A = this chain, B = another copy of it.
Amino acid sequence: MNKGLLVVVSGPSAVGKNTVLSQFLVRYPNSRYSISATTRKPRPGEIPGKNYYFYSREQFQSLLEQNQFLEWAKVYDEYYGTPLAPILEGLESGQVIVMDLDVQGALQVKRRLPEAVLVFLLPPSIAALKARLIKRGTESAQDMDKRLEACQEEIASARSYDYLVVNCEVSRAVDQLICIVEAEKLRLSRQAYLIDILTEGGTIGN
């Protein structure tokens, strides 16, 4: 078992995932976002190895054949995925790595790395979610019903997750995410080596 922790966070559009995750990353030491790989072209300002790893189609497919992706998907003829090696290296070195994924991606991760912790961010109500979507103004009135229906379906998939966090208030949701990470790090499966240290007469560092 690695010393780090892989945390996958999902939630419907406009639930406030980005805000919660960016505040978590500021507050939690030695934490970082996972970096995805994609075959699409870099957009202006995007830095390779920071925003994305930009792969050729051949590179991507070759890694795919070697089973070197933690999760992947094809969207509008472009590939997106999370290369496994940098994640394993980060976990090995004790990092807390955060992934923002949809339900399909999250379940792929859990199958590949069962020790990954799956957190689903819920809105306080569907009405609150609708209000946030309207405020964001990215949906036409016509698309709104379809979008909300998709959100409802996504929320129903939260039953496959490990933890549910309700985003009533951002700072409280961040506190809860921090507690989940802290508690997961204290689980026996990640700390059993402490018992060995003690029974062999050693001292546990702070």
Interface residues of A (CB under 8 A from B): 122-128, 152, 155-156, 158-159, 161-166, 168-169, 176, 178-180, 182-184, 186-188, 191-192, 194-195, 198-199, 201-204, 206
Copies of this chain, whole number = 2
Given that A179-B179, A183-B179, A195-B156 are contacting pairs, would A125 and B203 also be in contact in the complex, using a CB cutoff of 8 Å? yes
For the A-B complex with A122-B194, A128-B203 known, give 17 more contacts whose Cβ atoms are closer than 8 Å: A122-B204, A124-B204, A125-B198, A125-B202, A125-B204, A152-B198, A155-B195, A156-B195, A159-B192, A159-B195, A161-B188, A164-B186, A164-B188, A165-B186, A180-B183, A180-B186, A183-B184
Contact of A176 among B152, B182, B202 (CB under 8 A): B182
B186 with A127: CB separation less than 8 A: no
A206 with B156: CB separation less than 8 A: no
Q: When chains A and B are docked, how far (Å) is the Cα of A187 from the Cα of B201? A: 35
B204 with A166: CB separation less than 8 A: yes
A-B contact pairs, 27 of them (CB 8 A): A122-B198, A122-B204, A123-B198, A124-B203, A124-B204, A125-B204, A126-B201, A127-B201, A127-B203, A152-B198, A155-B195, A159-B188, A159-B195, A163-B183, A163-B187, A164-B186, A164-B195, A165-B186, A168-B204, A168-B206, A178-B179, A179-B179, A179-B186, A180-B183, A180-B186, A183-B183, A183-B184
Specify which chain B residues have a CB less than 8 angstroms from the CB of A127 in the assembled complex.
201, 203
Taking the closest CB of chain B, its distance from the CB of A93, in whole angstroms, is 21
Q: When chains A and B are docked, how far (Å) is the Cα of A180 from the Cα of B190? A: 14
Specify which chain B residues have a CB less than 8 angstroms from the CB of A178 in the assembled complex.
179
Specify which chain B residues have a CB less than 8 angstroms from the CB of A166 in the assembled complex.
194, 204
Taking the closest CB of chain B, its distance from the CB of A206, in whole angstroms, is 5
Taking the closest CB of chain B, its distance from the CB of A178, in whole angstroms, is 8
